[in-house]
């Protein structure tokens, strides 16, 4: 109402000031003209007043609904295309990893759809769905990882629950697009199988209150499946040579336990050193009470120039050593060609191996690398190719046209015990779409 009175007063003042006092003494016709003008202005003022009153009575617009944290997430897609040519016609005999080429020619070993985001103030979530083409060009789809991480536990604790790669050593938890080479190290393939060590479970970690980074963690996971190769896996006959027994979970001892401790510190302004020790302990299905123990140590050292441009030049060295004790129970070996079943004695199968790799970041987006590897197993009452001694040396060259694409060429020289040497050329192209979550240093 105050606004209406103010408008009326202002208009009337303007109108009256526009007519001098002498006009009131003019003829009656001039007075009537003035009256008509005043009546018209008064009608306009009343219309303005009605408009203002309707605006004041209108309800305030409702505020836009607040979005919850889970309404936002990063979506990305990473595609890998490989080309392979080898002196070994069956490329899969050499490239045993699940995300490596299996044939001469082109292959799609990994196409990864990744989702990650903040669920709420307490949780973050990550999902990785992987597509690939096998040696026959058939499509495979798998839920590689799906887990949540807590963000606010007290005392520097963090909980991880779902399906995930175990944090054993440096490379096991990395996805193929984060590898420094086109294929998996031999020792990881021998200990953990084609797809690495991963399963469903929970991991608790503790960031220790030390002046440098130190983190201790332990995972409790299911011990069955193809991705628990050294434990209750249907593929375990490749290790012990006998029939796999159907072994269920009867207690806590039938779970898989993966402890790890890792630390890092700066040696000086240009050098960083990371050290880690890991273990994996659980049952295997060579017998009703047989068990497996895997031990590992890892090292990562990096030098970066004090005059670095976009992180280049740099030199990085990474190495891992793994040792496995596989307690093989007394087991049966069918021999259909002879119509009988043989029995192998109980024994401890020991395998070990290591790799060391160096990367030289020559200039922005250009990296050269060299990797050397060796794996071996002790003598047993049987022979399987997977446990024979093998060495491999692999130089490679990687060019990153941008941060969203990569081209790599790599040569492998393999020397397998009793089979001699083989030569393999690998070429790899990778692209990234969307916002991909950062990986650990």
- Domain assignment present for 65: no
Question: Do 281 and 181 fall within a single domain?
Answer: yes
Question: Do 22 and 130 fall within a single domain?
Answer: no
pTM above threshold 0.85:
no
- Domain assignment present for 297: yes
Question: Do 89 and 53 fall within a single domain?
Answer: no
- b/e sequence 287-311, b meaning 16+ C-beta within 10 Å: beebbbebbbebbbbbebeeeeeee
**Token code pair at residue 18:** 């526009």
CB-CB contact of 352 with 316 (8 Å) = no
**Residue 67: per-residue pLDDT:** 54
**Residue 69: per-residue pLDDT:** 57
Q: Phi/psi of residue 412, each to 5°?
A: -115, 130
Q: C-alpha distances in angstroms, 134 versus 98, 112, 174, 379? A: 9, 15, 21, 33
96/189 Cα distance (integer angstroms)? 7
**Residue 17: per-residue pLDDT:** 47
Q: C-alpha distances in angstroms, 170 versus 180, 287, 316, 367, 428? A: 12, 31, 13, 20, 22
| Calculated CA dihedral for residues 48, 52, 57, 63, nearest 10 degrees | 140
Question: Do 44 and 192 fall within a single domain?
Answer: no
pLDDT tens digits, one per residue of 376-409: 999 988 887 788 999 999 999 999 999 999 999 9
How many domains is the chain built from?
2
Q: Give the structural domain span for 18.
A: 2-57
- Domain assignment present for 364: yes
pLDDT tens digits, one per residue of 204-230: 999 999 999 999 999 999 999 989 999
**Residue 217: per-residue pLDDT:** 98
**Residue 306: per-residue pLDDT:** 93
Query: Tokens 């779409």 — which residue?
Result: 433
Question: Do 184 and 254 fall within a single domain?
Answer: yes
- Domain assignment present for 416: yes
Ranges in the chain, pLDDT < 70: 1-35, 37-45, 47-71, 336-340, 437-441
Question: Do 80 and 53 fall within a single domain?
Answer: no
Question: Do 85 and 47 fall within a single domain?
Answer: no
* CATH code of the domain containing 199: 2.40.160.10
- Domain assignment present for 406: yes
């Amino acid at each position: 109402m105050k606004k209406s009175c103010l408008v009326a007063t202002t208009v009337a003042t303007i109108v009256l000031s526009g007519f001098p006092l002498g006009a009131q003494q003019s003829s009656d016709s001039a007075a009537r003209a003035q009256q008509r003008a005043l009546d018209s202005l008064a009608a306009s003022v009343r219309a303005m007043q009605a408009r203002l009153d309707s605006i004041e009575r209108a309800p305030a617009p409702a505020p836009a609904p607040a979005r919850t944290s889970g309404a936002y997430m990063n979506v990305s897609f990473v595609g890998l295309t490989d080309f392979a040519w080898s002196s070994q016609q069956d490329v899969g005999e050499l490239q045993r990893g699940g995300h490596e080429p299996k044939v001469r020619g082109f292959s799609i070993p990994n196409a990864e759809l990744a989702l990650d985001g903040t669920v709420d103030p307490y949780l973050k979530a990550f999902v990785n769905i992987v597509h690939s083409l096998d040696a026959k060009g058939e499509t495979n789809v798998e839920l590689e990882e799906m887990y949540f991480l807590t963000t606010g536990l007290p005392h520097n604790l963090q909980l991880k629950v779902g399906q995930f790669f175990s944090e054993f050593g440096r490379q096991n938890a990395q996805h193929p697009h984060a590898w420094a080479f086109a294929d998996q190290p031999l020792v990881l393939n021998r200990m953990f199988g084609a797809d690495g060590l991963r399963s469903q479970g929970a991991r608790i970690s503790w960031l220790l209150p030390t002046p440098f980074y130190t983190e201790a963690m332990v995972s409790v996971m299911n011990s069955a499946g193809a991705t628990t190769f050294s434990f209750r896996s249907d593929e375990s006959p490749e290790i012990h040579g006998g029939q796999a027994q159907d072994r269920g979970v009867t207690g806590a001892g039938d779970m898989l336990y993966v402890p790890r401790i890792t630390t890092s510190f700066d040696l000086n302004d240009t050098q960083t050193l990371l050290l880690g020790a890991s273990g994996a302990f659980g049952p295997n299905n060579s017998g009703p009470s047989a068990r497996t123990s895997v031990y590992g140590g890892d090292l990562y050292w990096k030098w970066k120039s004090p005059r670095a441009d976009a992180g280049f030049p740099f030199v990085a060295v990474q190495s891992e050593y793994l040792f496995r004790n596989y307690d093989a129970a007394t087991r049966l070996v069918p021999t259909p060609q002879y119509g009988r079943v043989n029995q192998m004695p109980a024994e401890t199968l020991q395998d070990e191996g290591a790799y060391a790799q160096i990367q030289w970041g020559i200039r922005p987006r250009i990296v050269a690398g060299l990797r050397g590897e060796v794996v071996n197993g002790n003598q047993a009452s049987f022979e399987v190719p997977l446990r024979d001694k093998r060495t491999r040396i692999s130089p490679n060259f990687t060019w990153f046209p941008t941060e969203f694409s990569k081209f790599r060429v790599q040569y492998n020289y393999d020397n397998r015990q009793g089979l001699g040497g083989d030569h393999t050329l690998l070429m790899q192209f990778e692209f990234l779409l969307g916002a991909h979550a950062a990986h650990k240093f």
